[in-house]
Amino acid sequence: MEHVTGSIKLRDIFLYNGNWWKLFLKHRNLIRSSIVINVLKLLSCRTTFLGYHIFSCLNCGHSIRVPHSCKSRFCSSCGKKATDNWIKNRFNALPNTAWQHITFTIDARLKDLFWLNRHLFNKLPPLAANIIKHQAKQKGFLPGIFLALHTFGRDLKRNPHIHLSTTVGGLSLSHDSWISSAYFYHKTLKNMWKYAVITLLRNEFKKGNLILPNYLKHSRSYTAFCSWLSVSYNKTWVVHLALKSDNQKRNVDYLGKYLKRPPIGETRIKSFVNNIVTFEYLDHYTKTNNYMSLHALDFIARLIAHVPDKHFRSIRYYGFLANRVSSKLLPLVYKLLNTRQSYPLKKVFTSWRTLFKNSFGIDPLLCSFCNLPMRLTYPIVYNNHKFLTMHKEIANGHFPLL
């Protein structure tokens, strides 16, 4: 079996030649449960094993089964749908003002340390947000901030970094005016970010909360560990400030692609031949599109490493967008900016029926025989316990009917 051109699905790569099952058996003690669950969802997506809805025509009795999707952001299809819905909802919610996108990276020497201590991923977002909040407070305002932690680069290598978006200006500390003139200094942000991350690692070491990579086993004392960290502290860290933008739609579209997307979109997979996956990625240094070819098992291993732990919040909100204050402060922001936005916001959701009609120009719920609307007869829902106990069958493409 070879895939050379056309649409190449992640599911095909995982299932072909038992790739996923072979990788799982080889490294089962290292593979987190959240990875297994998300892979099983991906493999079962839009099969009747995940359940289905039955729609019937009341006129002629014709019926169809519509399989359920997996809802996993690890799935390119479901991840794209989640991204599209997020963009629509954020466009309605985010204040129509100037925004700036800021990327916070860490020194390459520290990546292994973060990877071995995944609890640190939860501590990075507030560090970045607090730096912006501190700078804004000195200028007399509270900004609106939302951000996401990414653990991957375009080439799927391990690269923990923060994508943060902030209003360029914000709500005055007295909450009675909007301050629109503000500027974040690049050098100041870099220095504060580097200091915050190094301080975090020092404190975690003091508490005995760090697992050290093998090459740091000799640094068991606090002095030795700090000496090793000082090399990173003395280097220049990359903090990228994009130009501020007043275009609300472009802001949300741009940021949505960064914040909600899965590690790789299937359109970037260019070939799958003899169990070798070739995908395209943008090199940020040369600004050119490059290609990387990996054996399927290596490709899968690189991909699944970026599945977040269960309950990990990928997107977080701070400032006047923070969940605990947004219901009070967002209406004030809308009023001060003189926009027609209102709170609470009505959620926007694109149904599978609408997506199908938009993609193929056909209404899937019109009876193909008499062209009359079909109605939901009943849903069939899968059993979570059964789902997890049939790992081997699903991994080998055997989906028993519900």
Ranges of each domain in the chain: 77-266+302-336
Which pLDDT score is estimated for 70? 87
Q: Provide the 3-class DSSP secondary structure of residue 142.
A: strand
Spatial strand order in the sheet of 288-295:
269-273, 276-283, 288-295
Structure-token pair, residue 65: 């089964």
291: exposed, middle or buried (Cβ count in 10 Å: 0-12, 13-18, 19+): exposed
Among 18-27, 57-66, 78-87, the range scoring the smallest mean pLDDT is 78-87
Question: For residues 370 and 57, is the Cβ–Cβ distance under 8 A?
Answer: yes
Going along 21-80, which residue ranges are E strands?
Answer: 51-57, 63-67
Amino acid at residue number 17 = N
pLDDT digit string (tens) for 345-393?
667 777 888 888 888 899 999 999 999 999 999 888 876 667 778 899 9
pLDDT, tens digit, 9 for 90 and up, residues 194-236: 999 999 999 999 999 999 998 888 878 999 999 999 999 999 9
